[in-house]
Chain A
Amino acid sequence: MSSTAMKKKVLLMGKSGSGKTSMRSIIFANYIARDTRRLGATIDVEHSHVRFLGNLVLNLWDCGGQDTFMENYFTSQRDNIFRNVEVLIYIFDVESRELEKDMHYYQSCLEAILQNSPDAKVFCLVHKMDLVQEDQRDLIFKEREEDLKRLSRPLACTCFRTSIWDETLYKAWSSIVYQLIPNVQQLETNLRNFAQIIEADEVLLFERATFLVISHYQCKEQRDAHRFEKISNIIKQFKLSCSKLAASFQSMEVRNSNFAAFIDVFTSNTYVMVIMSDPSIPSAATLINIRNARKHFEKLERVDGPKHSLHMRMR
């Protein structure tokens, strides 16, 4: 497969109103302008042009809109849409009253995937779970998961339950990203070694576009279980502010008497965050360490087979 082949896609599909635009906006920190909140079904696919995991392009599709026009367009463009798909993320609205219809559209998407991109990974998100009462959530999700797994055969689908109002969305997407990184176990081992060498309290590896945590190492228990999501939110807000000045965020150092934190570009797909609790270690030392590690991790990524086409980008 040549490296200039068509870009691999991440398809984000689901019924109109299931929450795709909000989800994409939150995960990828895209500003939602008022007019793009369309009042009807999306007639055209929304290309995000987001470099996700290096080279993947995010496509957003409305599935099962009211229009028969929509359906015709969908069927005629089917091959086009479903070719070269790396990941299919399908969103179900847990409150939907038309379960049969939803499953029907889902199955037709799966058929198309089987025909055009049989190697694609399929993820199903049961979304808007905050609208279900807390004590019923597990039950309802288990039901849906069973149905979906059954319907998806022979493809294997991974199901998550999500809501934009709790930590499940961030965790689900982190898991998705984790599964998409080809050599993630190796990355983790090396990350641990790196952290122990530089005597860091914690080292995190973020995906570049979304600041989803791919992997992390901590040498002792941390108090805040939600710190990954919070850091991700803070940095995404900062990126939004930077983009207003037509600047792009590259790195950051935060320091006080108790700790020093370094956020920097790492490999072509990732950012690293290093937390040092010994303030006596000078910044320059840590920064040198990070720079040296960078070369090592880039080599790791390059090692992987061409089929994952994670291109290296020249600095």
Chain B
Amino acid sequence: MKSKNITLFFLTSFRPFHVEPNNIIDDGPQEKISAEAAVLNSRLHYYSRLMGSSDRLLSPPDHVIPQPDDIYIYSPLGTAFKVPGSDHPAKNPSIITIFAVWNTMMGTSILSMPWGIKQAGFTLGVFIVIFIGLLMLYCCYTVLKSPKSISHIDTSDWEFPDVCQYYFGKVGQWSSLMFSMVSLIGAMVVYWVLMSNFLFNTGQFIYNHAHNISEADSEFETNGSEKVICPNLDPGRNETISTLYLSDYRNTSDVSSFEQYWSKTDTVPFYLIILLLPLLCFRSASFFARFTFLGTISVVYLIVLVTVKAAHLGFHLEFHWFDKTQFYVPEFRSLFPQLTGVLTLAFFIHNCIITLMKNNKNQENNVRDLSVAYLLVGLTYLYVGVLIFAAFPSPPLFKDCIQPNFLDNFPSSDIMVFVARTFLLFQMITVYPLLGYLVRVQIMGHIFGNHYPSFFHILALNIVIIGAGVLMARFYPNIGSIIRFSGAICGLALVFVFPALIHMISLRQQGKLSVVSAIFHSFLIILGVANLVAQFFM
């Protein structure tokens, strides 16, 4: 009797993905899938057939998905492989981590290094760079270590503000957030000042080239092919560059009207609003994250620029230890806290070092890699600072002329510097929205719980940030001061006080706090406070 049933065999292409346990292949001895994982897999396949592909009604929530050990990759041939370490995000080798840390730390403070060394005196300046670098490295190491001492909670995705919240409650959370904001907003203000500066100089260069004007800044410049100028920029006063326009057929009214419309402090900061306010209001900053490589290129270009300039100008160093001479500065000056303030921001990475180090492939090398990164950063800063300081042509000019932004010491007609300025301008325009996004996420996230409450909230925040930048660019465009103040303020909390306190508290909880350690860390806190206080007396 022939059966009327239709006999069906499973076709390979329609086989639901269940694999017999003895087909599981592993590197080690034969292993089987856990029963829970196998049946969950069956459920997931079935549930996915019940909905449209974009529907998430029956998608497994996170707590249901099995442990990474139970996740296998099935091949169509029926074998299954356990993927080793498949739960971790891409782990980076040490060299990448070191580079990431270096890249993140390298900021606009590199432009203020020569000025900072000048303010402290050459010898003292070099010592301070090394000393502060080591100090900040130690504090960074403390920050990196801080989540590890929390034993009973999973701290794998914590950042330093979370650790502060754990130890100090709401106070810790809000104050670490606030101080972190100071560093970010300080950086954004510096960016605005610099962008106005670079845009002004770029515009000036193009205008001069177009109208064949050769600009010479009266007696405060060197002769020869490599011009270095000493602009009489005084913070608090409007720019008073004495310019001499040698031009054949230029109407003075024309020239002055250009100067009217294109002024470094009066008008250019406002022109930037038109460009940057829309960019800041973007919902997502992922587009701008693609341009972070520009930062690296601009630092490398600056190093090249500095080398070339130093080679052309030669060294002009004279060591006058304590007395002030006309052309040189003493080796030890009482203005050195200004340098420490700048360096606190220059070496600042404490609010994101945990995240950066998390993806290091060999975690046991974290301390070594961090130290190497700090060493490289210190060397880069020293290189730029020392070379510009040493190469600054002192006999005609004064060392005291070195500007907080050392590019200001070169006229706007200098081609290499023009390229540097344009490059930096472009780089800053792409980084500025990224910083704004970070500020927005942190502030909006903590106050409203939502990263984008409404367009008007974002607009209000952006107007405040841009307003601060414009005001500074208009009335006080001294980036050296802005950097040292914001560095000292945010460094107080996030570099000196919180890490030291947390370290001491965790040691005391373990009963391992020694007197020496307590004295040393208290001394760190005192240093941080002194750093901030000293800024106000300079």
A-side interface residues toward B, CB under 8 Å? 22, 25-26, 29-34, 37, 130-131, 164-167, 223-226, 229-230, 233-234, 236-237, 240-241, 250-255, 264, 283-284, 287-288
Q: In the bound complex, do residue A32 and residue B51 qualify as a contact, i.e. CB atoms below 8 Å apart?
A: yes
| Choice from B36, B38, B52 contacting A34 with Cβ under 8 Å | B52
Q: Which residue of A lies closest to B55 (CB)?
A: A34
CB distance from B187 to the nearest CB of A (A): 42
Chain B residues whose C-beta falls within 8 Å of the C-beta of A37 in the assembled complex: 55, 57
| Choice from A22, A224, A229, A252 contacting B8 with Cβ under 8 Å | A252
Q: In the bound complex, do residue A226 and residue B55 qualify as a contact, i.e. CB atoms below 8 Å apart?
A: no
Instruction: Report the Cα distance A165→B66, complex, angstroms.
Output: 11
Q: In the bound complex, do residue B50 and residue A31 qualify as a contact, i.e. CB atoms below 8 Å apart?
A: yes
Q: In the bound complex, do residue A130 and residue B50 qualify as a contact, i.e. CB atoms below 8 Å apart?
A: no
Mark interface residues in B48-69 (1 if CB within 8 Å of A CB, else 0): 0111100101101101100000
CB distance from B71 to the nearest CB of A (A): 16
Q: In the bound complex, do residue B58 and residue A130 qualify as a contact, i.e. CB atoms below 8 Å apart?
A: no
Given A31-B50, A225-B35, A250-B6, A233:B43 Cβ within 8 A = yes
| Choice from A32, A236, A253 contacting B55 with Cβ under 8 Å | A32
User: What are 8 A-B contacts with C-beta separation under 8 Å?
Assistant: A22-B57, A131-B63, A164-B43, A226-B38, A229-B39, A237-B45, A237-B49, A240-B50
Given contacts A224-B35, A253-B7, 11 further A-B contacts (CB under 8 A): A25-B58, A29-B50, A165-B61, A226-B35, A229-B43, A230-B38, A233-B42, A234-B16, A236-B46, A237-B46, A283-B7
Q: Which residue of B lies closest to A264 (CB)?
A: B5
Q: Is B271 an interface residue (CB 8 A)?
A: no
Instruction: Report the Cα distance A166→B175, complex, angstroms.
Output: 44
Q: In the bound complex, do residue B35 and residue A237 qualify as a contact, i.e. CB atoms below 8 Å apart?
A: no
Q: In the bound complex, do residue B63 and residue A26 qualify as a contact, i.e. CB atoms below 8 Å apart?
A: no
| Choice from B8, B14, B46, B51 contacting A253 with Cβ under 8 Å | B8
CB distance from A178 to the nearest CB of B (A): 20
Instruction: Report the Cα distance A250→B55, complex, angstroms.
Output: 30
Interface size on B, residues (CB 8 A): 33
Interface residues of B in 425-468 (CB under 8 A from A): none
Chain B residues whose C-beta falls within 8 Å of the C-beta of A240 in the assembled complex: 49-50
Q: Which residue of B lies closest to A287 (CB)?
A: B3
Q: Is B274 an interface residue (CB 8 A)?
A: no
Given A226-B39, A252-B8, A233:B50 Cβ within 8 A = no
Q: In the bound complex, do residue B58 and residue A164 qualify as a contact, i.e. CB atoms below 8 Å apart?
A: yes
Q: Is B10 an interface residue (CB 8 A)?
A: yes
Q: Which residue of A lies closest to B16 (CB)?
A: A234
Given A34-B55, A224-B35, A233-B42, A165:B64 Cβ within 8 A = yes
CB distance from B127 to the nearest CB of A (A): 57
Instruction: Report the Cα distance A241→B16, complex, angstroms.
Output: 12
Instruction: Report the Cα distance A61→B5, complex, angstroms.
Output: 39
Q: In the bound complex, do residue B42 and residue A30 qualify as a contact, i.e. CB atoms below 8 Å apart?
A: no
Instruction: Report the Cα distance A252→B5, complex, angstroms.
Output: 8
CB distance from A215 to the nearest CB of B (A): 21
Q: Which residue of A lies closest to B46 (CB)?
A: A233
Q: Which residue of B lies closest to A229 (CB)?
A: B39
Interface residues of B in 11-50 (CB under 8 A from A): 14, 16, 18, 21, 35-36, 38-40, 42-43, 45-47, 49-50
Instruction: Report the Cα distance A22→B8, complex, angstroms.
Output: 30
Closest 5 CB pairs of A and B: A233-B46, A226-B39, A251-B5, A165-B64, A230-B42
Q: In the bound complex, do residue A165 and residue B60 qualify as a contact, i.e. CB atoms below 8 Å apart?
A: yes
B-side interface residues toward A, CB under 8 Å? 1, 3, 5-10, 14, 16, 18, 21, 35-36, 38-40, 42-43, 45-47, 49-52, 55, 57-58, 60-61, 63-64
Chain A residues whose C-beta falls within 8 Å of the C-beta of B60 in the assembled complex: 165
Given A26-B47, A237-B46, A254:B9 Cβ within 8 A = yes
Q: Which residue of B lies closest to A134 (CB)?
A: B63
Chain A residues whose C-beta falls within 8 Å of the C-beta of B50 in the assembled complex: 25-26, 29-32, 240
Chain A residues whose C-beta falls within 8 Å of the C-beta of B64 in the assembled complex: 130, 165
CB distance from B64 to the nearest CB of A (A): 4
CB distance from B58 to the nearest CB of A (A): 6
Q: Give the interface centre of B40, B46, B51, B57 by most chain A CB atoms within 10 Å.
A: B46
Chain A residues whose C-beta falls within 8 Å of the C-beta of B52 in the assembled complex: 33-34
CB distance from A267 to the nearest CB of B (A): 16
| Choice from B21, B40, B57, B61 contacting A32 with Cβ under 8 Å | B57
Chain A residues whose C-beta falls within 8 Å of the C-beta of B36 in the assembled complex: 166
Instruction: Report the Cα distance A237→B63, complex, angstroms.
Output: 25
CB distance from A95 to the nearest CB of B (A): 12
Chain A residues whose C-beta falls within 8 Å of the C-beta of B40 in the assembled complex: 165
CB distance from A6 to the nearest CB of B (A): 30
Q: In the bound complex, do residue A251 and residue B63 qualify as a contact, i.e. CB atoms below 8 Å apart?
A: no
Chain A residues whose C-beta falls within 8 Å of the C-beta of B10 in the assembled complex: 254
Q: Which residue of A lies closest to B5 (CB)?
A: A251
Q: In the bound complex, do residue B35 and residue A130 qualify as a contact, i.e. CB atoms below 8 Å apart?
A: no
Chain A residues whose C-beta falls within 8 Å of the C-beta of B45 in the assembled complex: 233, 237
Q: In the bound complex, do residue B9 and residue A255 qualify as a contact, i.e. CB atoms below 8 Å apart?
A: yes
CB distance from B445 to the nearest CB of A (A): 25
CB distance from A260 to the nearest CB of B (A): 11
Q: In the bound complex, do residue A230 and residue B39 qualify as a contact, i.e. CB atoms below 8 Å apart?
A: yes
Instruction: Report the Cα distance A130→B36, complex, angstroms.
Output: 14
Chain B residues whose C-beta falls within 8 Å of the C-beta of A22 in the assembled complex: 57-58
Instruction: Report the Cα distance A233→B51, complex, angstroms.
Output: 15
CB distance from B406 to the nearest CB of A (A): 60
Instruction: Report the Cα distance A230→B61, complex, angstroms.
Output: 20
Chain B residues whose C-beta falls within 8 Å of the C-beta of A131 in the assembled complex: 63
Q: In the bound complex, do residue A234 and residue B42 qualify as a contact, i.e. CB atoms below 8 Å apart?
A: yes
Q: In the bound complex, do residue A251 and residue B6 qualify as a contact, i.e. CB atoms below 8 Å apart?
A: yes
Q: In the bound complex, do residue A287 and residue B35 qualify as a contact, i.e. CB atoms below 8 Å apart?
A: no
Q: Which residue of B lies closest to A252 (CB)?
A: B8
Chain A residues whose C-beta falls within 8 Å of the C-beta of B61 in the assembled complex: 130, 165
Chain A residues whose C-beta falls within 8 Å of the C-beta of B1 in the assembled complex: 284, 288
Q: Which residue of A lies closest to B51 (CB)?
A: A32
Q: Which residue of B lies closest to A247 (CB)?
A: B6
Chain B residues whose C-beta falls within 8 Å of the C-beta of A167 in the assembled complex: 39
| Choice from A165, A234, A250 contacting B5 with Cβ under 8 Å | A250
Instruction: Report the Cα distance A25→B35, complex, angstroms.
Output: 24
Q: In the bound complex, do residue A230 and residue B55 qualify as a contact, i.e. CB atoms below 8 Å apart?
A: no
| Choice from A223, A229, A254, A288 contacting B42 with Cβ under 8 Å | A229
Instruction: Report the Cα distance A63→B13, complex, angstroms.
Output: 44
Given A30-B50, A32-B55, A34-B52, A284:B39 Cβ within 8 A = no
CB distance from A250 to the nearest CB of B (A): 7
Q: Which residue of B lies closest to A165 (CB)?
A: B64
Q: Which residue of A lies closest to B10 (CB)?
A: A254
CB distance from B365 to the nearest CB of A (A): 37
Instruction: Report the Cα distance A270→B168, complex, angstroms.
Output: 64
Given A130-B61, A236-B46, A237-B49, A284:B3 Cβ within 8 A = yes
Q: Which residue of A lies closest to B32 (CB)?
A: A223
Q: In the bound complex, do residue B8 and residue A165 qualify as a contact, i.e. CB atoms below 8 Å apart?
A: no
CB distance from A286 to the nearest CB of B (A): 10
CB distance from B234 to the nearest CB of A (A): 64
Q: In the bound complex, do residue A237 and residue B16 qualify as a contact, i.e. CB atoms below 8 Å apart?
A: yes
Chain B residues whose C-beta falls within 8 Å of the C-beta of A253 in the assembled complex: 5, 7-9
Q: In the bound complex, do residue B8 and residue A230 qualify as a contact, i.e. CB atoms below 8 Å apart?
A: no
Q: Which residue of A lies closest to B65 (CB)?
A: A165
